[in-house]
Amino acid sequence: MTLQADSAGAAAPPDSATTNGIVPNLEETPQPHPQPQSPPSPQPSHPSPPSELRLPIWWPEDGNLSMDWVENLMLCFDWCSRNLPPSELPSVLPVKVFDSLILMASKMLHKEPNCVTIDPFRPSPNDSSPSAASVVVVGDVHGQLHDLLFLLQDAGFPSRDRIFVFNGDYVDRGAWGLETFLLLLAWKVFMPHNIYLLRGNHESKYCTSVYGFEKEVMVKYGDKGKHVYRKCLGCFEGLPLASIIAGCVYTAHGGLFRSVTVMPSKRFKGKKNRKINVNHDSKTLSLGSLEELSKARRSVLDPPWEGPNLIPGDVLWSDPSKNLGLAPNKERGIGLLWGPDCTEEFLKKYQLKLIIRSHEGPDAREKRDGLDGMDEGYTIDHTVDSGKLVTVFSAPDYPQFQATEKRYNNKGSYVVLEPPNFDNPIFHGFSAVTPRPKVNAYYDYEEVIDSDEELDLASMVTS
């Protein structure tokens, strides 16, 4: 590891100069007048890590992560963020360790379905009757590492009795998106059935190129930055889109989605010649089904806003509205707006009680007429006969870098669902960890003020 101690002594000069092992006769050899020496340039000095930290981080020989390994990773990331420049991250987490972690996590994520089924009822090891775990649902965290570390401590780590579901947006805006994402991947590898990571709209090539994550990776890993960034993009493609918890709660980053009708061609037979009818007319839009969601192609760098594969973009980018029906989300340029009647239809059709989504922070909500603000980190957006729709946002004092003189100072929040019914959301609010370590932003936050506006669709991948 390339960490230096607080006080490093300079190397001692050699006792004498030699050439090919021959000592020159100083009396016969004319000696030049001594030239004034410029003082050596000072070397940057970094604090030594505490003895309890094991640095650099290593990958276990058997590939099996432990609680001790994950806890050490959390402590190392926290210490590194406060004491080292960002470019020193490879001395803490070497590229080879990154490669091992993201490879194992990507394999797990790509094997999961688009909509993961989460069963909190687990067989008891000592008893025939099953026990039920509580479920913690977390919204956007946006690279705010220290707030995530607090959240994990406050809610309690993932365990046999506690399942976590993260609703996406791990990166961008905040300065520690890479550490945040990798930490959650480590938890996933360690406890794959106790933590579920869903995709957010910022887990995409377009958003990460605009809102800081791509530059963050390049700064931290230098000449290996492109390699690390590409691996992260590949992992993003494997993140599931939604979850069903205990058969009664639907969670996704944005929310609901449209139906994409598949019409068999009259002239040809076979799957390759099916016609896919995509209607953008708000008068004929209809809600999609969980079956359609299960068949959507999520392995795209950027969810398309046109063409047949619209469901991923809807799930990641859509927003609730107080107006009835479905409509194109013109504010964002992608996804939908859906009203309380659509929430009722979806809940009733699948016998659900609750929808938990994220996607909207205080900056987005202040522009939404008729919807509550995000000051407390959550809102209850629809209350209908069959249940509720809520939004949860877990990044307090967001965004980390604000161009406005007055900060939002919003709280973050997470949701706890308790057995046996899991349909009564308990909100836990928390404030930002202060002071945050001083660091520069990785995007022009004065120009790029709001991710909800001026989406450059032309630059997004449509394949």
Distance CA 414, CA 427 (A): 6
Torsion sign across C-alpha atoms 93, 434, 440, 373:
positive
What count of other Cβ atoms lies within 10 Å of the Cβ of residue 440? 8
Q: What b/e sequence results for 170-189 when a residue is b if at least 16 CB atoms lie within 10 Å of its CB, and e otherwise?
A: bbbbbbbbbbbbbbbbbbbb
Give the H/E segment covering residue 244: strand 242-245
Three-class DSSP category at 75: helix
Q: C-alpha angle 130/133/136, rounded to 5°?
A: 160
Distance CA 289, CA 332 (A): 23
429, two tokens: 């609010």
The type of residue at 86 is P
Quick one: how many helices (H) and strands (E) in the chain? 12, 18
Distance CA 149, CA 224 (A): 27
Residues 6+ apart with CB under 8 A from 105: 185, 186, 188, 189, 235
Torsion sign across C-alpha atoms 170, 175, 178, 184:
negative
Is 428 a catalytic site residue? no
Contact 227, 287 (CB under 8 A): no
Catalytic residue among 33, 46, 146, 202: 202
Distance CA 222, CA 177 (A): 16
Kindly list the catalytic residues.
Answer: 202
